[in-house]
Amino acid sequence: MKRSLRGVQFTHTLVSIMVETVAVLIGYLFGSIPFGLILTKTAGLGDVRNIGSGNIGATNVLRTGNKKIAALTLLLDGLKGAAPVLLLNYFGGPQAGMIAGLAAMAGHIFPVWLGFKGGKGVATSLGVLFGLYWPLGLIFIGVWLALAFTFRISSLAGLATSALSPLWAYLLGCSKELVLSTIIIAVVIWIMHRANIARLLKGDEPKIDLGKRV
């Protein structure tokens, strides 16, 4: 009986490891799709890595002057965060979904195809939160948009919104695991925005230019 029980436990552990491994791989591969680079090149706007901050996120894409391509980048970067979460949550459960979401962020920030130099993770984290618990994602979107359009500083909006996400998750009654995921996401976003924080403190952070027409 004990051997049988041990065999069941071993099988369960092995399956869990396999599911989590698949979650990491799928999440990373989704997250590493460089939509900002693909869209700007397809639109004839050149290599987005050669302008502004040099990253592939929507804010830098906006610096090309093409608001439609920037908006599409924002949408797709969000979807590549939400899609693996929803997929793995359905087939592997909530824990697999969370792992896939964090892996998607890692893929966006460190894409293997671009020498591990990608974006800063705000749009993808938005998608991850939306996939994990859509009310939390809606709050993130609403607050980010409000701050971005009020102050016209993308980094400030992302930093403030991510920092508040754990509080919202707690107030919404989310699980401890989900609250922990929001904390990890916030820490990653703040680390990736180190240079932006320095410029914000100096008052040198550039604002979003919404006046250009395409």
The tens digit of pLDDT for each residue in 182-203 reads 999 999 999 999 999 999 999 9
CA distance 1 to 148: 61
> Average pLDDT over the chain, rounded to whole?
91
CA distance 106 to 165: 19
Closest CA to 37 of 24, 47, 22: 47
C-beta neighbour count of 209 within 10 angstroms = 11
Is the torsion defined by CA of 196, 202, 205, 207 positive or negative?
Answer: positive
Answer yes or no: is pLDDT of 210 > 60.
no
Q: Which residues contact 206 (CB under 8 A, 6 or more apart)?
A: 153, 199
Average pLDDT score over residue span 11-19: 83
Is the torsion defined by CA of 50, 52, 57, 61 positive or negative?
Answer: negative
CA distance 23 to 38: 25
The enclosing H or E element of 173 equals: none
Answer yes or no: is pLDDT of 134 > 70.
yes
Answer yes or no: is pLDDT of 4 > 70.
no
Give domain limits for the chain.
Answer: 2-202
Q: 213: which 2 tokens?
A: 């027409």
Q: 100: which 2 tokens?
A: 């896939």
pLDDT confidence band for 115 (50 / 70 / 90):
very high
Answer yes or no: is pLDDT of 212 > 60.
no
CA distance 64 to 52: 9
Q: Which residues contact 71 (CB under 8 A, 6 or more apart)?
A: 58
The tens digit of pLDDT for each residue in 19-36 reads 999 999 999 999 999 999
pLDDT at residue 214, rounded to an integer: 39
The tens digit of pLDDT for each residue in 48-76 reads 999 988 889 998 999 998 999 999 999 99
Answer yes or no: is pLDDT of 209 > 80.
no
pLDDT at residue 9, rounded to an integer: 76
Contact (CB, 8 A) for 40 and 62: no
CA distance 204 to 45: 26
C-beta neighbour count of 171 within 10 angstroms = 10
pLDDT at residue 208, rounded to an integer: 80
DSSP state of 166: H
Angle at 120 between CA 74 and CA 78, to 5 degrees: 30
